[in-house]
Amino acid sequence: MNNRICVSLPITYGEVNENVKVIKEALKYEPHYIELRFDFIDDLAAINQSLLTPLIDLIHPNCSSIFTFRSFKEGGKIELEEERRFQILKTLINSKPDYLDIEMGTEGHILSQVINLAIKENLTLIFSHHDFEKTSSLDESQTHISMFINRLKDDFNLNFNFIENSIYKIIFTAEKYTDNLIPLNLCASLNDKFKIISFCMGKKGKFSRIFCTKFGSFFTYASLEKETAPGQIKIEKIREYHESIFNP
C-alpha cells in the first residue's frame, strides 16, 4: 500500500521569490508530489519561463512536479476561452514538469495538441474529471473512465503504453458520508489495470481523501495553508492520519 501525498499550491503571484518561499515551506513536509495551480495567478502574462524554470528547478531534486491550469468549468479561478488556455498549457508543458493535469472534457482539437506536446516533451498526463455537485454511481464512474480510454484509442490513435502510463483522476462531491465508498471501490476495481486517483471533495468527503491510497489511488491531495479544492486536508494532518491508521 502507498501513502503518496501531493500537496497542491495555489500560485497567486507572478513573482518568483514569493512562490519560492511557499514551495520551500511545502518541501519541509517531504511530499511525494507538488502541484502548482496556475489558475489562481493574479497576472496571466507572468506565466512564462522566467517564472516557471526557477520553480521547476526547486521542486525537481526533491519530488515530482505537477502543473495545472484548471478549466473554469471544473473549478478553475479564471474564465478564459479554450484557445487562450491552451496557449498557457503549452507554456506549462514547455517548462517540462513531470505531469500536467488536463480535463477529460477538454475540446477534442485542444486535447489532441496537448497530448502531442506531452508526448514530445516526455511528460505524463493526468486526465481529470471533477463533479462539484454529486457523486456518481460506481457503474457510471467506471463507464466514464472506460469511454474516455476508448476515446484515446479510437479518436487519437494512442497506443497501449501511453494509455497505461497516463493517470485517470475522477473526483466527486460527497452529499452523504456513504458517497465516500464510491471512489474507494472505483480505485479498488481499476487500480490493477490503470493508474487511478479518486476521492470525494467537501466536508463529508474527507474520509475518502484519507483512505483512497489504501484502496489503490495513485496518490491523494493535501493543502499547505490555502486549500485549492473543497475539503482539502493539510499535509501534516493527513500524514498524521496515515501514520496512526496504517502504521500504528
Please give the Cα distance from 93 to 73 (Å, whole number).
21
pLDDT higher than threshold 60 for residue 89: yes
Q: How far apart are CA 224 and CA 92, in angstroms?
A: 22
Alpha carbon distance, N-terminus to C-terminus of the chain? 14
Instruction: Give the per-residue pLDDT at 156.
Output: 93
Considering only CA atoms, give the Rg of the chain: 17
Q: Are strands 99-103 and 64-68 parallel, antiparallel or unpaired?
A: parallel
- How would residue 224 be classed by pLDDT, with cut points 50, 70 and 90? very high
> What's the sign of the alpha-carbon dihedral 228, 233, 237, 240?
negative
- The whole model's pTM is what? 0.95
Q: Is the pLDDT of residue 244 over 70?
A: yes
Helix axes 16-27, 49-59, angle to 10 degrees: 20
pLDDT tops 90 at residue 247: no
Do 50 and 16 form a contact (C-beta atoms < 8 A)?
yes
Residue 85, burial from CB neighbour count under 10 angstroms (0-12, 13-18, 19+): buried
Backbone φ, ψ for residue 196 (5° rounding): -120, 140
The C-alpha cell at 133 is 455537485
Q: What is the DSSP code (8-state) at residue 233?
A: P
* Mean pLDDT across 164-172: 97
Gap between the Cα atoms of 45 and 206, Å rounded: 35
pLDDT digits (tens, 9 = 90+) for 116-133: 999 999 999 999 999 999
As given in the structure block, the three cell numbers for residue 85 are 488556455
Q: What is the pLDDT of residues 175-204, one digit of tens each?
A: 999 999 999 999 999 999 999 999 999 999
pLDDT exceeds cutoff 80 at 248:
no
Q: Are strands 220-223 and 99-103 parallel, antiparallel or unpaired?
A: unpaired
Percent of the chain exceeding pLDDT 70 equals 99
pLDDT of residue 180: 98
Burial 50-66 (b: 16+ CB within 10 A, else e): ebbeebbebbeeebbbb
Q: Mean pLDDT across the stretch 58-62?
A: 95
Write out 4-69 in H/E/C secondary structure. Answer: CEEEEEECCCCCHHHHHHHHHHHHCCCCCEEEEEHHHCCCHHHCCHHHHHHHHHHHCCCCEEEEEC
Residue 58 has pLDDT above 90, yes or no: yes
pLDDT at 67 over 70: yes
The three cell numbers locating residue 189: 476495481
- pLDDT category at 39 given cuts 50, 70, 90 is very high
Query: What topology is assigned to 5-246 in CATH?
Result: TIM Barrel (3.20.20)
Give the pLDDT mean for 100-110: 96
